[in-house]
Amino acid sequence: GMALALALLAAMATSVAGSSERVLSELEVKQLNRILQGEVSKNELEIVLAQYDEDLSWSRPYEKVTTVYCKGGERCSEGTERLPNVGREGHTFLHHIVRNYDNLAAWTVFTQAGEPTEGYRGHAAGGGHMLTGASFDDYILHPQRTTKEDADSFFLFTSKLHLPTMQHSMRTSYKTVEGQQVIRPETLPPMCPAHDSLESSGDAWGPYSNVQWLRSFVAQKCGIEEGSLGDALLLFWDDILQSTRPPANIVHFAQGARFAASRARIQQRSRAFYEKLLALVVTDEDPCMNYVFEWSWYYIIGAHTSSACDVSPEESTQIWEVQERVLQASSLGLSGLSGLSGLSGLSGGVSGGTTTTTATATAAMTTAATTKAAMTTAMATTTTTNSERCDGSTELSFYPQSI
């Protein structure tokens, strides 16, 4: 009752699940109190949880504004909405947007169902993808924050990726190894860290690394030759996202796919746009495109007018030099790829509920007669033989365990 709600409020008013001493503002405390007392409706705020069978006890204070989509079959609890076990969290988020497009909450938080603990150290070691110094409350209370970088969405970017080469950089304040020492900030971390650790007390972008296994894994998952993967990602950007490419072709994203957005921001894109993306992840348990979606949520949700984070001149030069070396060393196998105008074949989605095996897709990609449609079919319909659970989370981390 009221006593429990007030006790929870007192415990949570310092934010970050007890791990931060940052005090909430008066407006934030008032809103949190309304949420805990059940005074906030789903028309105002909705939390979308993508669940398989994760323990949801951490989310109980927010249950009045929470919608749980469960893909665990008989493991699903009463009161959850069951979905087929396909497409991971990308399918769940897009399903929610498409189904509720005309009735979206004023503010929606999208998250995997695991407890939002700090960092991520791989599937075995765990971690709830939360940036040090932030809390789940920060995603819920963003509309009440008096100073904010983006009024219509809330992202805390922890990774960045150079699309043509898949060179990868991590935020240094994001915990990825046991015992990693991270300075806990006194204020909410910014959306983007500094370019140099000397600028911002250790919260900066780390150096780029060439994660070869990542290129190999994604190429195999998508049924595309490694040398052609960067081109495929850029074509996806041009014809499916239909967005201006980010500066230097570097995308910034939140590892773990947690973000929040306003109704107005989401509705900058049409329902048909989200339906098109949803069609790409409705047949496989672990589809290629969900990995691409995780990198792209900032750019998918709404018609963004600016880059997620800025790119330094030095970074841009460094990256393009890397790109040139990698592409020169690659055997693309797609001689006509540079002349392709885009991935228009992908917009039709997956028809007939059929899938194409990775071997078949790869063979199709490497023939002299490879076409744009064949390439997009490979990305959209490559199936998986993975027998492990395929729930709301991206279990196969994109990042080396020792990074």
So what's the pLDDT on residue 184?
72
Asked if 109 and 262 count as a contact pair (C-beta separation under 8 A), the reply is no
Q: Which two tokens stand for residue 174?
A: 């994001």
- CB contact at 8 A, 267 and 101: yes
pLDDT in the model for residue 397: 41
What's the pTM value of the predicted model, to 2 decimals? 0.78
Q: What is the pLDDT of residue 314?
A: 76
The predicted structure's pLDDT at residue 385: 35
Q: pLDDT at position 372, please?
A: 44
User: Would you state the pLDDT for residue 214?
Assistant: 83
DSSP codes, 62-130: GGGGEEEEE-SGGGPPTTSEE--S-SHHHHHHHHHHHHTGGG--SEEEEEESS---B----TTT----B
Instruction: Tell me which residue of 166, 188, 213, 206 sits closest to 14, measured CA to CA.
Output: 188
Consecutive H or E run containing 229: helix 226-236
**Helix, strand or coil, per DSSP, at residue 10:** helix
Dihedral through CA 397, CA 399, CA 401, CA 403, nearest 10? Answer: -160
Q: For residue 283, report the phi and psi dihedrals to the nearest 5 degrees.
A: -110, -30
Q: How high is the pLDDT of residue 274?
A: 97
Q: What is d(CA 33, CA 29) in angstroms, rounded to the nearest whole number?
A: 6
Task: Decide if 305 contacts 243 (C-beta within 8 A).
Answer: no
End-to-end CA distance of the chain: 45
Q: Which helix (H) or strand (E) holds 326?
A: helix 313-329
Q: How many CB atoms lie within 10 A of CB 187?
A: 9
Give per-residue burial for 83-98: e unless 16+ CB within 10 Å, then b. bebbbbbbbbbbbbbb
Block means of pLDDT (10 residues each) for the chain, 403 residues, are: 49 44 85 94 97 92 96 91 95 98 98 82 60 89 87 92 88 71 75 73 82 86 88 90 88 92 96 96 90 94 82 74 52 29 26 32 33 46 40 41 28
> What is the structure's pLDDT at 35?
95
